[in-house]
Structure 1
Amino acid sequence: MTGQLLNLEANQHRSRVLDSWIAGRDGAAERTGVVALGENSSGSLTMSELANLIGAAHRSSSGSQVTAETGMRVSAAYGCMSLIAGAIATLPLGIYERKGNDRDSADHEYWWMLNEKASDGWSASAAWEALILSKLSHGDGFGEWIRPSPFSNRVTGWKPLKRQTVQPFKDGKEVYYRITPDDGPVYVLDRADVIHLPSLGFDGLTSPSPLTYAALEAIGTALAAQEYTGRFLAGGGNFDYALKTASKLDKTQLEQLKASLIARAQNGGRGPLILSGGLEPAQLSVNSKDAEILATRLFTVEEICRIFGVPPFMVGHTTKTTSFGSGIGEMGMGFVRYTLQRHLTPITQEVNSKLWPVRQRFFVEHITAALERGDIKARYEAYRTALGRAGEQPFMDATEIRRLENMPPNAKLNLNGGTSAEQPDQAPGEQQEAP
Structure 2
Amino acid sequence: MTELKIPIISKFLEKRSEMSDLKNPKRWFYNTFGITAGNGIQVTEATAMKSTAVLACVRVLSETVASLPVPVYRRLKPRGKERISHAVADILQRAPNSKMTAFTFRETMMAHILLWGNCYAEIEYDGNGVIKALWPIPPSRVDMYDTESGDSFYRVTLPNGEQKNIPDYAMFHIPGLGFDGRKGISVISWARRSIELALATEQFGADFFENGTNVGAVATHPGTLTEEAFERLKQSLREKYEGLGNAHRLMLLEEGMTFSKNTIPPNDAQFLETRKFQISEIARLFRVPPHMLADLERATFSNIEQQSIDFVTHTIRPWLVRWEQTINWKLFDSNEQKQIFAEFLIEGLLRGETKARYESYAIARTNGWLSVNDIRELENMNPVEGGDIYLQPLNMKDVNQKEPGKGGDNDEGSQGTTGIGAAGNAAGSEKG
TM-score of the pair, normalised by structure 1: 0.70
Q: 1:340 to 1:323 in 2, by over 3 A?
A: farther
Is 1:227 matched up with 2:193? no
| Residues 17-416 of structure 1 aligned to structure 2 (within 5 Å) | 56=34, 64-99=41-76, 102-107=79-84, 108-149=86-127, 153-172=129-148, 173-183=150-160, 185-203=162-180, 206-214=183-191, 216-236=192-212, 238-239=214-215, 247=222, 249-250=223-224, 253=225, 255=227, 278=256, 280=258, 286-287=264-265, 290-321=268-299, 325-327=303-305, 330-356=306-332, 358-359=334-335, 360-361=337-338, 362-388=340-366, 392=367, 394-411=368-385, 413=387, 415=389
Contact 1:57 1:67 in 2 (8 A): no
Provide the alpha-carbon RMSD of the alignment: 4.0
Distance in 1 of aligned mates of 2:211 and 2:229: 20
Q: What letter is aligned with 1:367? A: L
Could you list the per-position Cα deviations for residues 158-204 of structure 1 after superposition, in whole angstroms to 9, with x for gaps in the alignment?
Answer: 12111222222232333211112225843110111112222223445
Partner SS, residue 87 of structure 1: helix
Superposed displacement of residue 208, structure 1: 3.0
Partner SS, residue 102 of structure 1: coil
Distance in 2 of aligned mates of 1:57 and 1:401: 59
Gaps of 5+ in 1: 1-42, 418-435
Partner SS, residue 74 of structure 2: strand
Superposed displacement of residue 129, structure 1: 0.5
Could you list the per-position Cα deviations for residues 84-142 of structure 1 after superposition, in whole angstroms to 9, with x for gaps in the alignment?
Answer: 00000011112222345624124122101011111111111100100110111122211
Q: 1:401 to 1:163 in 2, by over 3 A?
A: same
Q: 1:78 to 1:101 in 2, by over 3 A?
A: farther
Q: What letter is aligned with 2:92? A: L
Could you list the per-position Cα deviations for residues 200-244 of structure 1 after superposition, in whole angstroms to 9, with x for gaps in the alignment?
Answer: 234455433222331x22322222222222222223473487776
Could you list the per-position Cα deviations for residues 21-73 of structure 1 after superposition, in whole angstroms to 9, with x for gaps in the alignment?
Answer: xxxxxxxxxxxxxxxxxxxxxx9998999x99x995775x7652212222111
Partner SS, residue 400 of structure 1: helix
Identical residues among aligned pairs (%): 26
TM-score of the pair, normalised by structure 2: 0.71
Partner SS, residue 381 of structure 2: coil
Partner SS, residue 209 of structure 2: helix
Q: 1:332 to 1:295 in 2, by over 3 A?
A: closer
Partner SS, residue 122 of structure 1: coil
Partner SS, residue 142 of structure 1: strand
Partner SS, residue 133 of structure 1: helix
Q: 1:326 to 1:131 in 2, by over 3 A?
A: closer
Q: 1:381 to 1:184 in 2, by over 3 A?
A: same
Q: 1:275 to 1:154 in 2, by over 3 A?
A: farther
Q: What letter is aligned with 2:287? A: G
Structure of larger gyration radius: 2
